[in-house]
A and B are shown apart, each in its own frame.
Chain A
Amino acid sequence: MKSAFWPMLWKEFIQMRRDPFTLAMMIGIPAIQLMLFGYAIRMEVRHVPMVVMDESHTAESRELVDVMRNTGNFDVAGVVTSREELRISIESGKAHAALVIPPNYLGQLKRGRGAQAQLIVDAADPLSATAAINGAALAATATSLSLTEMSGGHVQPLEVRVRPWYNPDLKSSTFIVPGIIGVLLAMMLILITSMAIVRERERGTLEQLVVTPIGKTSLMLGKIVPFIVVGYVQMTVVLVLGKLLFDIPMRGSLLLLYVLTMAYIVANLALGLLVSTVTKTQVQAMQLSFFLIMPNILLSGFMFPRDAMPVPAQWLGAALPLTYYLTILRGVLLKGIGMAQLWPETLALCGFAVGLILLSVVRFTKTVG
C-alpha cells in the first residue's frame, strides 16, 4: 500500500506540469491577488476631492483652503459660486466634500469670536467621510493655533501623542499583504483539491483506481500531498513579492510560520476533499468552493476588523480556520511574536486540521465505494 503512493504522486506532478492553465493559476494567481489586494485596498482614504465655495474672497479664506489641502486629505477639485452648483458637483460625484466659507468669515475672525466655515461631506461612503471629517478637524485646529499665536495669545494646547506600533506608517498594505497568504491558500487549496478529485470521478479514472489494489489512503495521500507543495510555493511567492513590492516586515521566525502553516494547509485540503465528496461535477465543486471562500474573505478579519462585527458574525468568523491563521501570520510577520503568544491559535488550527481531515476521510472512503 505504501508503494502505491509513489506512482500517484508521480502522476499528479506530471499532470500538474502538463496542465498550463492550472500551473498558471498556481503561480499567477498569487501574484495577481497580491497586486489587486495590496495596491487597491486602501483603508486610509486620502485626497478626497473637494470643491470650494469661497464667498469671503480674502487672503485668510484662501489660507484656510491651503491648510485643508496641506492635511493631504483633500484635493481641490474646483471652485463653485453658488449652492446650486455645489449640490450638482457633489451629486455628480465630481466632489465628495465642499468647503463653504461665508462672506463674513474675515469679520468673524477679526472680532475674535470664532469664525465658522462649513464642510459638506458626501457620507455615503463612511470611510472617505471619516477621512474628510478628520482632515477638517486637523485643519481647524492648525488654523486656530496659528491665528491665536499671530494675535499674540498664549498657546498651551493639550497634546496626545499617538505611537502606532507594528505599522508605524499605518499602511494598509502592511495589514493586508500577510493576510493574502491566508486567503490565497484557502481559495486555491479548497478549489484545486475539490476540482482535481471531481475531475477523476468525471473521467472515470477514480473508479479505475478503486478497482486496483491501491488502497484508499495511498489514493488520497497521492492526491493531497502535491497540493501541500503547491500551497508552500504560493505562500513563498506572496512573501517574496510582498517583501519586494510592499516592504512587508518579517519580524518573527519564518521557520515557525512555515511549520504552523502546515496545519492550516491540511485543514483547507480537508475542506477541498469534503467538497469533492458532495459534488458530482467540476462546476458544482467550483461553486461550492466559492461559497466557502466568501465568508473567509468577509468574516475572518482579513479586510474588516472582527471587533467591529456584530456578535453572530464574530461567531461565524470563529468557525473559520483563516481567522486563527491570520492572527498567526500578522503576529509572526508584523509583531515578531512566537509560540508563547500564539499557542491558542495554533491549538485551534490543529483542531481544525485533525477534525476536518478525519471527517473528510470518512466521507471520501464512503463515496468511492
Chain B
Amino acid sequence: MTAPVADAAAVRTEHLRKTFGPLVAVDSLDLEVRRGEVFGLLGPNGSGKTTTIRMLCGLIEPTSGSAMVAGFDVTRQPELVKQHIGYMSQKYGLYDDLTVVENIRFYATVYGLHGAARAKRIDEMLDDLHLRERASQRAGTLSGGWKQRLALATATAHEPPVLFLDEPTAGVDPASRREFWTRIHALAAAGTTILVTTHYMDEAAQCGRLGFLSRGHLIAIGTPEDVVKQFGKTTIEDVFVELQNRDEKR
C-alpha cells in the first residue's frame, strides 16, 4: 500500500473547483482541516457544501484543483481515499429490509473486516451506540434517531481516520441530536477528523472551527468566536443570516 503523504492536515484542498455546465458550484476553494478537528461547513442551500463533500469522498470528480484526504490525492488515489474515510449523508444509505446488525455486518465486510476482528468490531459498535437491544430489528422500522445512530455505525465500521457528515442530523429530534454530538466529540477525542455540514446553529457552535461557504466561495473561516467577532455580531446565527442576505443581494 502506498504510504500517505505526511501532512498535519487531514483534508487539504487547493483551488478546488467544480462546475456543472454553466453553473459554478465550488470555486477556487482552499481549505485545510487539521487532524482530530471537528470542522463545520456552513452556508445556505446551494452554496456548495454538499458538492465539496462529494468531491472529497470521490463521488464526483473536481473540474480542476486538487484535494488531499487522509494523505491521499482524491483524483489520483481514489481507492486509497475510500479506505480511509467514512461518509454519512442525510439519506443514511441503510438497507431497510436488513436488520440493524446485518446492516453493520454488511458495511463492515465491504470495508474488508472478517472473522474475529469483524465480530469484535460489531460487538463494540452495538454497545457504544446502544444498538444491542435493537440488533435484530429491521432498519426500515427504526425511528429517525435510531436510523441516524445506525448510519453512524455503518459509516464508522472500519474506524476511518476521516469522517464526512453531510447534514447528519436533519429531521432528527433534539435528544437524538445531542446524543449524536456526544458521539461525534468522542470520535474526535479518539483522533478522528470530522468534517460536518449543518443548518443547526447550536451544532455549529460545537465545532472546533467553522467555514462559511457562499456561492461556492469560502468567505469566512475560524473558531465560532472568531467568526462572530469578525462580523461584529453576537451569535453564529446572526452571522449566517447576514451572509445569506449579502448572498441574495448579489
* A, B: real partners: yes
Stretch at the interface among A208-216, A268-276, A291-299, A302-310: A208-216
Contact A211 B57 (CB under 8 A): yes
CA distance A8 to B98 in the complex (A): 12
Any A CB within 8 A of the CB of B146: no
Any A CB within 8 A of the CB of B79: yes
**Residue among A18, A205, A211 with the highest chain B CB neighbour number at 10 A:** A211
Contact B93 A7 (CB under 8 A): no
Any B CB within 8 A of the CB of A154: no
A15 and B95 in contact (CB under 8 A), knowing A211-B87, A212-B110, A214-B110? Answer: yes
CA distance A3 to B154 in the complex (A): 18
Any A CB within 8 A of the CB of B94: yes
Contact residues in A for B138 (Cβ distance below 8 Å)? 18
Contact residues in B for A171 (Cβ distance below 8 Å)? none
Contact A203 B97 (CB under 8 A): no
Contact residues in A for B107 (Cβ distance below 8 Å)? 208, 212
CB distance from B72 to the nearest CB of A (A): 12
CA distance A60 to B185 in the complex (A): 104
Q: Which residues between 1 and 52 of chain A lie within 8 Å of chain B, taking CB atoms? A: 3-4, 6-8, 10-11, 14-15, 18-19
> Can you pick out 6 interface pairs between chain A and chain B where the beta carbons lie within 8 Å of each other?
A7-B105, A14-B97, A203-B91, A209-B110, A212-B107, A369-B59
A205 and B93 in contact (CB under 8 A), knowing A7-B109, A212-B111? Answer: yes
A369 and B60 in contact (CB under 8 A), knowing A19-B97, A203-B91, A205-B95? Answer: yes
CA distance A174 to B204 in the complex (A): 71
Contact residues in A for B105 (Cβ distance below 8 Å)? 7
- Point out residues on B near A: beta carbons under 8 Å: 54, 57-61, 79, 82-83, 85, 87, 89, 91-98, 102, 105-107, 109-112, 114, 138, 154
CA distance A8 to B95 in the complex (A): 12
Closest to B95 in A: A205
**Residue among A4, A11, A212, A369 with the highest chain B CB neighbour number at 10 A:** A212
Chain A contact residues: helix, strand, loop or mixed: helix
Number of A-B residue pairs, CB cutoff 8 Å, is 78
B98: which of A6, A15, A208, A213 is its contact (CB, 8 Å)? A15
Any B CB within 8 A of the CB of A204: yes
What string of 1s and 0s marks CB contacts (under 8 Å) between A306-350 and chain B? 000000000000000000000000000000000000000000000
Contact residues in B for A149 (Cβ distance below 8 Å)? none
Closest to A205 in B: B93
CA distance A6 to B83 in the complex (A): 18
Q: Which residues between 190 and 221 of chain A lie within 8 Å of chain B, taking CB atoms? A: 203-205, 207-215
Contact residues in B for A212 (Cβ distance below 8 Å)? 82, 107, 110-111
CA distance A208 to B168 in the complex (A): 14
Contact A7 B110 (CB under 8 A): yes
A203 and B93 in contact (CB under 8 A), knowing A4-B110, A15-B98, A211-B59? Answer: yes
Contact residues in B for A211 (Cβ distance below 8 Å)? 57-59, 82, 85, 87
Contact residues in A for B79 (Cβ distance below 8 Å)? 213, 215
Contact A213 B97 (CB under 8 A): no
Contact B111 A208 (CB under 8 A): no
CA distance A203 to B154 in the complex (A): 15
Contact A7 B106 (CB under 8 A): yes
Contact residues in B for A215 (Cβ distance below 8 Å)? 79
Contact A207 B89 (CB under 8 A): yes
CB distance from B86 to the nearest CB of A (A): 8
CA distance A214 to B97 in the complex (A): 21
Contact residues in A for B102 (Cβ distance below 8 Å)? 11, 14
Contact B91 A204 (CB under 8 A): yes
CA distance A212 to B112 in the complex (A): 10
CA distance A223 to B112 in the complex (A): 19
What string of 1s and 0s marks CB contacts (under 8 Å) between A54-96 and chain B? 0000000000000000000000000000000000000000000
